């Protein structure tokens, strides 16, 4: 084999060097290729009590593990020789166009995870063209979220409602959300009492965080979190004056275990926009809600944070869609950690999905930039999975694209 010395002009294209990134945050977010990568960064940068509040679930955390396992047990069935040079990830959801088939779920105590909190989520949602959901237990006011993600700029905000024992106070929040231009009311119905979130109990999780020798020691390698926490507006609830007990005590004090279908019908009549019911876990309840006349339901077991060993929403999805899919929109959350999970849910008939932990991992990893990275990762995975399946629009996804390899089957 004849050899020769390489010429300089031949070497030049082979020896291009990557331009260094000076910002540590930019470097770590660019290196995050999956939501699991963001989770690992978040865990390093966030005190244990705040991270575990996001990461944990109820009792033995079986529901959460099963939900994620269900998505892992999906087999995709691709079609070949399709033109997928362009894919369209947009669709109509609850009366408006969304650019992507997922939105940001309502999460409580969000500014405790990272000081930018709900504003980071709302502005990221605004720029991505997806809805942002504000929790009753949010730490940014209804009006501030509306200002950050204005309807005039094409923004869509949804308000998540827990019915309190003080009904007047609950409906005052609903009235504020309507006046602020929120277009959808997410009525959450799976919290008559708080679930047994054992990580929070073990961590002594309180609002504001309780300082103990253990929490101080845990905070030492996380100075950025404490700097942000101590130098920004004190943590407070948008819908509550103050609280000095545990999270579970707060939930049990506030939430009303007497809420019924009649109350839901009454709430629906008070709200001028769309109504979605979050926390549906049976076909029978889905059917009854369709008869009540709500616009959508969210199949959800609260991210595994309420009743442990509850039904897996993804497993319920096909039967619920067959039963009520022509009467209302069926949305889904719990266990979503990738764009592949989202595509699998859409193929099984979900109109839309919501992300909670995935968004918070990005927030803890890098504030607003981290939320942008979460959306970017999921968008890329959705688009790539669609192309590999041979579909160019969301409406082309169908049950035949997915086979559920079940480990669990009723006896």
Residues known to be catalytic: 302
Assign 3-class secondary structure to the chain: CCCCCCCHHHHHHHHCCCCCCCCHHHHHHHHCCCHHHHHHHHHHHCCHHHHHHHHCCCCCCHHHHHHHHHHHCEEECCCCCCCCCCCECCEEECCEEECCCEEECCCCCHHHHCCCHHHHHHHHHHHHCCCEEECCCCCCCHHHHHHHCCHHHCCCEEEEECCECCHHHHHHHHHHHHHCCCCEEEEECCCCCCCCCHHHHHHCCECCCCCCHHHHHHHCCCHHHHHHHHHCCCCCCCCCCCCCCEHHHHHHHHECCCCCHHHHHHHHHHCCCEEEEEEECCHHHHHHHHHHCCCEEEECCHHHCCCCCCCCHHHHHHHHHHHHCCCCEEEECCCCCCHHHHHHHHHCCCCEEEECHHHHHHHHHHHHHHHHHHHHHHHHHHHHHHHHHCCCEHHHCCHHHEEECCCCCCC
């Amino acid at each position: 084999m004849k050899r020769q010395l390489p010429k300089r002009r031949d070497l030049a294209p082979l020896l291009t060097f990557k331009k260094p990134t000076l910002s540590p945050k930019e470097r770590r977010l660019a290196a995050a290729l999956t939501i699991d990568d963001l989770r690992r960064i978040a865990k390093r940068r966030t005190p244990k009590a705040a991270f575990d509040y996001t990461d944990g679930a109820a009792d033995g955390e079986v529901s959460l593990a099963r939900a994620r396992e269900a998505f892992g047990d999906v087999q995709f069935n691709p079609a070949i020789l399709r033109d997928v040079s362009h894919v369209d990830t947009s669709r109509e959801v609850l009366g408006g166009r969304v650019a992507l088939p997922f939105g940001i779920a309502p999460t409580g105590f969000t500014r405790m995870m990272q000081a930018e909190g709900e504003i980071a989520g709302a502005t990221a949602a605004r720029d991505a063209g997806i809805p942002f959901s504000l929790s009753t237990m949010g730490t940014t006011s209804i009006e501030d979220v509306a200002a950050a993600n204005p309807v005039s700029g094409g923004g869509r905000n949804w308000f998540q409602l827990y019915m309190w024992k003080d009904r007047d106070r609950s409906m005052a929040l609903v009235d504020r959300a309507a006046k602020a231009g929120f277009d959808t009311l997410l009525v959450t119905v799976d919290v008559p009492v708080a679930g047994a979130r054992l990580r929070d109990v073990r961590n002594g999780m309180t609002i504001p965080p309780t300082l103990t020798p253990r929490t101080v020691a845990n905070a030492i390698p996380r100075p950025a979190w404490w700097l942000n926490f101590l130098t920004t507006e004190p943590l407070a609830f948008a819908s509550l004056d103050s609280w000095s007990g545990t999270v579970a005590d707060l939930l049990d004090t506030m939430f009303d275990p007497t809420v019924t279908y009649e109350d839901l019908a009454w709430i629906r009549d008070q709200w001028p926009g769309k109504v979605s019911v979050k926390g549906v876990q049976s076909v029978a309840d889905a059917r009854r809600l369709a008869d009540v006349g709500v616009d959508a339901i969210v199949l959800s077991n609260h991210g595994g944070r309420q009743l442990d060993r509850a039904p897996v929403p993804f497993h319920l999805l096909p039967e619920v869609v067959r039963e009520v899919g022509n009467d209302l929109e069926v949305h889904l959350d719990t266990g979503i950690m990738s764009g592949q999970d989202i595509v699998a849910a859409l193929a099984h008939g979900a109109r839309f999905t919501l992300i909670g932990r995935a968004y918070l991992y990005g927030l803890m990893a890098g504030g607003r930039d981290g939320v942008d990275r979460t959306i970017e990762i999921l968008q890329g995975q959705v688009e790539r999975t669609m192309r590999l399946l041979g579909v160019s629009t969301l409406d082309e996804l169908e049950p035949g694209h997915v086979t559920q390899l079940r480990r669990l089957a009723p006896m």
